Amino acid sequence: MESVDNMKQPIRLAALLLFVLTSLLFSTSPTHSQRAPNVEQRVNELLARMTLEEKLGQLQQLDGEGNGNFRPEHLDMIRKGLLGSTLGVRGAARTNQVQRVAMNESRLKIPVLFGFDVIHGYRTIFPIPLGEASSFDPTLAERSAAVAAQEANNVGLRWTFAPMVDIARDPRWGRITEGAGEDPFLGAAFARARVRGFQGDDYGAADKILACAKHWVAYGNAEGGRDYNTTDLSENTLREIYFPPFKAAVDAGVGTLMSSFNAINGVPATANAFTLTKVLRQEWKFDGFVVSDYTAVKELINHGVAGNEEQAAALALNAGVEMEMVSRSYNQFGPQLLKQNKITQATIDEAVRRILRIKFRLGLFDHPYTDEAREPNALLRPESIRLAREIAGRSMVLLKNERETLPLNKNIGSIAVIGPLADDRRVPLGWWSGDGKEENTVTPLAGIKAKVSPQTTVLYAKGCEVKDDSTAGFEQAVNIAKQADVAVVFVGETHDMTGEAASRSTLDLPGRQMELVQAIHATGKPTIVVLVNGRPLSVGWIVNNAPAILESWFGGSESGNAIADILFGDVNPGAKLPVTFPRTVGQVPIYYNHMNTGRPPEAENRYTSKYYDAPWTPLYPFGYGLSYTTFKISNLQLSAPRINASGKITVNVDVENTGRRAGDEVVQLYIRDLVATMTRPVKELKGFQRISLQPGEKKKVEFVLGPEHLGFWNREMRYVVEPGEFRVMVGSNSVDVIEAKFDVAPN
Ligand code: BGC
């Protein structure tokens, strides 16, 4: 025995040595924790050795050349200590090449921080964030962000410009696709989950990256839904609607924020001391750093608050923007601003301190490189692809299903797959698709072919394009519909009609797509419509005429498989809309949690708050979505008829699966403060739970409401829970609810 053990000893020692060496060489060990005790000391020691130029260099971020390449000038700047971070430079070998310059050739050996927009996946692409929010299951967002972080980390990235947590009440705004929709409570839950997914407990750990909550703040309120546009809104609305997802991200430990492009009540967000310093630093105690949006510092000139770049630099830095993305005003004008006392040494030092603090917490100084050997096996892992399919299936919303048109039978004789988005590989990846590749995308046509029985005939015709005006393909599409038992038509938007700089002035289906659907429907064949899009669309004709509609969003790499899973009943849809669908763009902004008016709409009374030429109700309300089974929500019980302002109340309901299939229901809880010193929303989401039930199964669902749910920001800008009556509503969407009331007692 002894001799065998002795023989093992050298092997153990060698293994131990190898482990220690790998841990030292590569940033894969969780030992370089953000909780490392001596971060502040190391920051201060380093800061004391830095020249003014080196300090300003840390505040600079520049973008790469595209395709992951750095620019030749980057290396020289890094060598001189004049560049702290890059945007878009990626690939383990490339980032290592750049990092070697920082670590071997620069005076202070401060590592470069490599950032990129990893929004809903890096190579494995998940549904767009608006789609993922439809799952009403934040744990899914946490899991997809974790995969995105793992892939990104292995290609040398350490920082993502995500999550985008802007509340969006205006579907004309293309960036609605990037967030969690219109509701601050849902938005906060998804913000928290995504930060956790990217960063874990320690963003310096293996397979994790630093997150960036953006765009701080109110970017989603852009006037007219026009991107980059100004905003004008009360502090109450800021605090109650636009801040909560950011607060949730900060509370979840997000390391960075990005300042937004828009002005807020006359002060651009990138020069806004109220939001950047008072709220973020003083009230919320945020100790990370803020990066400007792309050239937003220089854009202060166009906003008209700075006469030149020098003034722009002073405004942004003094307000609390530490890192400047792409424009170079800090670097160029920092020294003279300091000389003229327009910025102070303390302000520069504090900015550098915050950036270095994050670099130390990331473990970059101790583990600056990426293990190049790991990169090939890090992407598109089978379990990542499986997860992408699962999440896509749980994110798609069944909007209509008359007479159980869906699910289809896999043994169906023939199926006509029609539409410009039926076999498109690019569109399902959505805007900001990381390094997602078309060749890794499953289209709906491929997903359907893989799903049906060998005897089923699958016919395909494109019919038309999304964007152009030709109807030349209609005839073929109509012909195959006539030959088939059922037609499934894929219509919507292309990926580049959403996202940045993609505001639309109409929410109609672009091009001739609506006519295509009408032509197919006119054949008399059951016409199922699958929407492929990144924002709410006004598709009233389809809602009134098609027997079944599935909202598939831009579902990511596995979109086509997930759609087939739902169409053929392997997955029972359970997602709900995280945003209101208007009937017409003229109703925008339309959102469920609006204030009441003195004249709430009444059908028979002209002089009430409504439209002359359109209904006031939406096409689909917030929280709406169907399942292949049915649910009954009943027996709403409150734990007490009255509570104190600081007290809690428990709300219970019974939820029963009354149909024939297992399925998920998202039980939603809303409140209304009936009489207050300020007008209050007619409904506010304050709880949701997605639960699974077998046919006939019944479960109790419990919610707890406390002061954090019942209060609001009053006229003195204090958060208060006011005494009086509250209505509690629980239901399967924001309209179909059962209700009860309770009182908050006077103090
Ligand atoms: C966008 C940001 C993005 C940045 C870097 C900007 O134009 O507004 O969301 O993170 O570019 O790509």
Q: In whole angstroms, give the CA distance from residue 258 to residue 317.
A: 13
Place of tokens 């609305």: 237
Binned at pLDDT 50, 70 and 90, residue 35 comes out as low
Specify the pLDDT at position 196: 98
pLDDT digits (tens, 9 = 90+) for 376-422: 999 999 999 999 999 999 999 999 999 999 999 999 999 999 999 99
pLDDT digits (tens, 9 = 90+) for 169-205: 999 999 999 999 999 999 999 999 999 999 999 999 9
Distance between Cα 218 and ligand 1 center (Å):
15
Distance between Cα 670 and ligand 1 center (Å):
34
Q: In whole angstroms, give the CA distance from residue 509 to residue 467.
A: 9
Residue nearest to atom 6 of ligand 1 (CA): 294
Query: In the chain, pLDDT over 90 holds for what percent of residues?
Result: 95
Among 176, 210, 294, 298, say which to mutate for ligand 1: greatest number of ligand atoms within 8 Å of CB: 294
Annotation marks residue 468 as catalytic: no
Angle at 603 between CA 599 and CA 608, to 5 degrees: 20
Q: State how far the alpha carbon of 148 is from the alpha carbons of 117, 213, 382, 713, in Å.
A: 11, 16, 14, 36
Distance between Cα 468 and ligand 1 center (Å):
29
Index of the ligand 1 atom closest to the CA of residue 214: 9
Specify the pLDDT at position 747: 79
**Is the backbone of residue 668 left (phi > 0), alpha (psi -120 to 50) or beta?**
beta
Distance between Cα 611 and ligand 1 center (Å):
37
Binned at pLDDT 50, 70 and 90, residue 91 comes out as very high
Specify the pLDDT at position 69: 97
Residues touching ligand 1 (Cβ under 6 Å) are 87, 117, 161, 214, 293-294, 500
Index of the ligand 1 atom closest to the CA of residue 215: 9
421 and 393 in contact (C-beta within 8 Å)? no
Average pLDDT of the segment spanning 305-312: 98
Dihedral sign, Cα of residue 502, residue 505, residue 506, residue 507: positive
Binned at pLDDT 50, 70 and 90, residue 484 comes out as very high
Distance between Cα 249 and ligand 1 center (Å):
18
Strands across the sheet with 548-551, in order?
Answer: 397-401, 548-551, 527-532, 486-492, 414-418, 457-461
Index of the ligand 1 atom closest to the CA of residue 260: 8
Residue nearest to atom 8 of ligand 1 (CA): 293
Res. 13: pLDDT tops 60: no
Specify the pLDDT at position 36: 61
Determine how many CB atoms are found less than 10 A away from the CB of residue 335: 12
DSSP secondary structure of 72-113: HHHHHHHHTT---EEES---HHHHHHHHHIIIIISSS-PPPE
Query: In the chain, pLDDT over 70 holds for what percent of residues?
Result: 95
Give the dihedral of Cα atoms 577, 582, 587, 588; nearest 10 deg: 50
Dihedral sign, Cα of residue 225, residue 226, residue 228, residue 230: negative
Q: Note the pTM of the prediction, 2 decimals.
A: 0.95
Res. 4: pLDDT tops 70: no
pLDDT digits (tens, 9 = 90+) for 641-670: 999 999 999 999 999 999 999 999 999 999
Among 161, 216, 262, say which to mutate for ligand 1: greatest number of ligand atoms within 8 Å of CB: 161
Index of the ligand 1 atom closest to the CA of residue 161: 10
pLDDT digits (tens, 9 = 90+) for 270-291: 999 999 999 999 999 999 999 9
Place of tokens 């908050």: 744
Index of the ligand 1 atom closest to the CA of residue 88: 12
**Of the candidates 332, 325, 294, the residue with the CA atom closest to the CA atom of residue 311:** 332
Specify the pLDDT at position 18: 45
- 293, 371, 435, 664: which one is catalytic? 293
Mean pLDDT for all residues in the chain: 95
Residue nearest to atom 10 of ligand 1 (CA): 161
Distance between Cα 293 and ligand 1 center (Å):
6
Residue nearest to atom 12 of ligand 1 (CA): 117
